[in-house]
Structures are given as C-alpha cells and as structure tokens.
Structure 1
Amino acid sequence: MTLQVNVTPNGRMSLPIDIRKRLGLVGGGSVLVEETDDGVVLRTVSQAVARAQAISRALLEGKPDVTVDSFIAEGRQWQE
C-alpha cells in the first residue's frame, strides 16, 4: 500500500489512523526511521526488535559456541 502524507515546514507528518491502528499506535507511540538507498522505512519499536532477532538468529545458525565478541564482529561485517 502506498499513501501520500504531507510534511509540514517544521518536519511533522501524520500517519493515517488506519495505519496507526494496525501498528498499535492509536494512543501515540514511537517509530524508528531508517534511511535506505530506496527511500525511508518506518518501523515500530516491536518491528525493529523482531527484525534484530531475526538477523541474530541468522548469524547464529549452526554456531552453538559463538561468543559475544565474534557475534558483534560478524554483525559489523553485515553493515559494510
């Protein structure tokens, strides 16, 4: 689904109510803004946590003896 929202001169924008309801943001809340090569992605905090957990599982798959240091080092490689 693609919707157009307006950004005010001071940088504010409003998400339509139906999207806020689906995301659980009816009473307000926080979203994380990620700038990508393709544009901007908005995620709720719970969506960002779920994404981080999925990435962690992928990095740890088949590596039962991984250490925190090696996990962080390998994660940094994904960012490059």
Structure 2
Amino acid sequence: MTVQVNITPNGRTSLPADIRKRLGLVGGSAVYLVETPEGLVLRTAAQAVARAQALAKRYTEGKPDGSVEAFLAKRREDSGE
C-alpha cells in the first residue's frame, strides 16, 4: 500500500486514521524512521523491538555465552567486580 502524506512548513506530518488504528498507534506513540538505500521505512516501537530481537537471535542462537546473563557475567569478570 502506498499512501501520500504531506509535510507541513514546520516539518510535521500525520498518518491517516485507518493506518494509525490498524497499527495501534495513539497520540504519543513512538514510531521509528529507518533510512535505507531504497527509501524510508517507518516502524512502530513493537516492530522495531521484534526486529532487534530477531537479529540478536540470529547471532546468539546455539551459543551458550550469547545470553544477556552471560554477557553481564563476562563484563563483571572483565572489570574485576
């Protein structure tokens, strides 16, 4: 789906109501713009978190030292805590 939105002179834009409803966005919701070679990608906070988790899983899956707990333990060990 392609939707045109306009940018006001002060740099503001608004998302159409049907899109906001479908994505569960309300006033004050965070969205993230990602600049890619193909253009801008807008992600909700939930989508951004899910993407980050998927990327982390790809790099840590099957590695016993890939957990947050293992990372923190290693940091404590390295710092002498």
TM interval, shorter chain, is 0.7 to 0.9
Secondary structure at the counterpart of residue 32 of structure 1: strand
Amino acid at match of 1:40: L
> Which structure's CA Rg is the greater one?
2
In structure 2, what is the equivalent of residue 52 of structure 1? 52
1:33 aligns with 2:33: yes
Quote how far apart the aligned CAs of 1:28 are. Answer: 4.2
TM-score, normalization by structure 1: 0.75
Structure 1: where are the runs of 5+ without partners? 70-80
CA-atom RMSD in angstroms:
1.7
- Count of residues in correspondence between the two structures: 69
Structure 1 CA distance for aligned equivalents of residues 26 and 46 of structure 2: 15
- Report percent identity of matched pairs: 65
Task: Please say if residues 65 and 71 of structure 2, whose CA atoms lie closer than 8 Å, have aligned partners that are also in contact.
Answer: no
1:1-80 aligned within 5 A: 1-66=1-66, 67-68=70-71
Structure 2: where are the runs of 5+ without partners? 73-81
Structure 2 CA distance for aligned equivalents of residues 24 and 36 of structure 1: 24
TM-score, normalization by structure 2: 0.74
Quote how far apart the aligned CAs of 1:15 are. Answer: 0.4
